[in-house]
Amino acid sequence: MSLAPTQLAQETPRAAHAPASWEQARAALGPVRGSERGGRAPIKRLVVAGVRRTCDVLVAGVLLVVLAPLLAVLALAIRLDSPGPALFRQRRVGRGQREFTLCKFRTMDADADAARHREYVQTLIGDARASERGHLYKLSVDDRVTRVGRRLRAWSLDELPQLFNVLRGEMALVGPRPVIPYEVACYPDAYLARFAVKPGLTGLWQVSGRNERTYDEMVRFDVEYAAADSLLLDLRILVRTVPVVLGRRGVA
């Protein structure tokens, strides 16, 4: 089943600085021609995969070395702010719907109950409540987040430990958002195309409004990225990630 724009829920109002529509947000990255996955020769696909993996390993390795002092300081701040480990580990679904353990800095109380988020997400994408799919992805108010956690989220610093996932080959620098298994359990068939590629540390959704986008818009960005399979698109996304993070756009 293909994922066409008409199959998705209508958009909701968003902040003034967010792109006005999915089409405008996608167009901001420029055209990606002749890059449909199905039309590419097997050898070319292998070359692209090899180049992408080499870049992932080199960049992630260098960043982990350079950022090691910062990672240590952040880990200490988390431990001093609230009881519990500095790292948060959670099962996520990656390429081919294979599960892996994602690493992040902990931004919530160690005993935070996931039931609240699970129910919210299931409301967004569950077939029985399809009319709710136009709502924003993240909870706008979440009292489970710690003081340090809010600052980490504001600057996307909680994502840095995912560089280890990139080194292990479970993630890439660029790709769809790594989703939680209970989200996938509610997915319609059209959403599954996003699992054709590895999830990423950043991606098309992250540089196109992030948490100001609806769940359906997020999936549409992910499917668009998976279909493009373009190194040029990867580069454009990486370049746009820096100002998005520094400008704290779409932070929730």
User: What DSSP state is assigned to residue 136?
Assistant: B
Residues 6+ apart with CB under 8 A from 221: 22, 25, 26, 176, 203, 204, 205, 208, 213
**Tokens representing 109?**
């109380």
pLDDT tens per residue, range 29-45: 565 544 455 556 788 88
Angle between helices 68-81 and 42-66 (to 10 degrees): 70
C-alpha separations of 176 from 80, 179, 197 in Å: 33, 9, 8
Range from 135-144, 203-212, 226-235 carrying the lowest mean pLDDT: 135-144
**Would you list the DSSP string of 19-87?**
-SSHHHHHHTT----S--GGGS-HHHHHHHHHHHHHHHHHHHHHHHHHTHHHHHHHHHHHHHHSSS-SE
Question: How confident is the model at residue 134, as a pLDDT?
Answer: 47
For residues 155-174, average pLDDT: 97
- 238 closest CA partner among 200, 212, 196: 200
For residues 136-141, average pLDDT: 56
Question: How confident is the model at residue 144, as a pLDDT?
Answer: 85
CA dihedral 166, 207, 137, 118 (to 10 degrees): 10
Give the pTM: 0.80
Range from 2-6, 136-140, 155-159, 248-252 carrying the lowest mean pLDDT: 2-6
For residues 112-136, average pLDDT: 66
pLDDT tens per residue, range 149-163: 999 999 999 999 999
Sequence-ordered strand ranges (E) for 86-189: 87-93, 99-105, 172-174
How many alpha carbons lie under 13 Å from residue 227 in its C-beta half-sphere? 15
Question: How confident is the model at residue 37, as a pLDDT?
Answer: 54
pLDDT band with cut points at 50, 70 and 90 for residue 137: low
The CA-based angle 226-99-178, given to 5 degrees, is 45
